[in-house]
A and B are shown apart, each in its own frame.
Chain A
């Protein structure tokens, strides 16, 4: 089953607003990743974080790797309609597999 707790489960926001979502785990991870999934497609990597405390940006997206290595957050600034989709956090430990959260479904109202 899922080992990551992702919040919120869904968000309804107005275009132009900022968005924040987070992920927590009972396990320590060495890498945190954030993906976006559109309907009928596989997840697409947005941001990868490799070090505790790391803060990384990719355009309007900013993500941080928590100091405890058990959490991460993703912020989206000035949302636009194409930001609609499901956002997943994923953690990777010493093994090769990634563990995913249950996702945050984002709806942006124009």
Chain B
């Protein structure tokens, strides 16, 4: 596609509910990143894929967070048993190789 597409744009979840956030990267982009952006803060790195391989997941805050990219294109970030501190904007970015990341518009998750 022309840009990085994320869905849903907004998600309200009750505490304890599981959520799944989707990212459609730019076609052909090898690298895919997930970032978490709390209100009034800069994005913080969560995890990185090169094709279908998850090469770095050091930023995932707990084992409730899980990301996958099984066919090397679309990626899903799953959060189990959501808690209020998970409320944030989740940004996905993709790039061919190295620099020149293109970000999606993000999914705003609110846990109530």
Contacts and interface: CB of A to CB of B under 8 A. Distances in A.
Contacts of A2: 41-42, 44
A31 to B, nearest CB: 6
Given A102-B42, A103-B41, A96 B48 contact: yes
Nearest to B9: A40
Interface residues of B, number: 26
Interface stretch (A14-22, A41-49, A67-75): A41-49
B106 interface: yes
A98 B45 contact: yes
B99 A101 contact: no
A32 B4 CA distance: 22
A19 to B, nearest CB: 18
Nearest to A99: B45
B56 interface: yes
B66 interface: no
B56 A100 contact: no
A5 to B, nearest CB: 11
Contacts of B48: 96-97
Contact of A97 (B42, B59, B103): B59
Range of interface residues on chain A?
20 to 34
A106 interface: no
Given A2-B41, A96-B55, A97-B48, A45 B101 contact: yes
Nearest to A31: B99
Given A88-B42, A98-B45, A101-B42, A42 B93 contact: yes
Contacts of A42: 4, 91, 93, 103-106
Contacts of B59: 97
Contacts of B35: 100
Contacts of B43: 43, 88, 100
Interface of A: 1-2, 4, 6, 31, 33, 40-45, 48, 50, 88, 90, 92, 95-103
Please name the 5 residue pairs, one residue from A and one from B, whose CB atoms are nearest each other, closest first: A42-B103, A100-B42, A97-B45, A100-B43, A102-B42
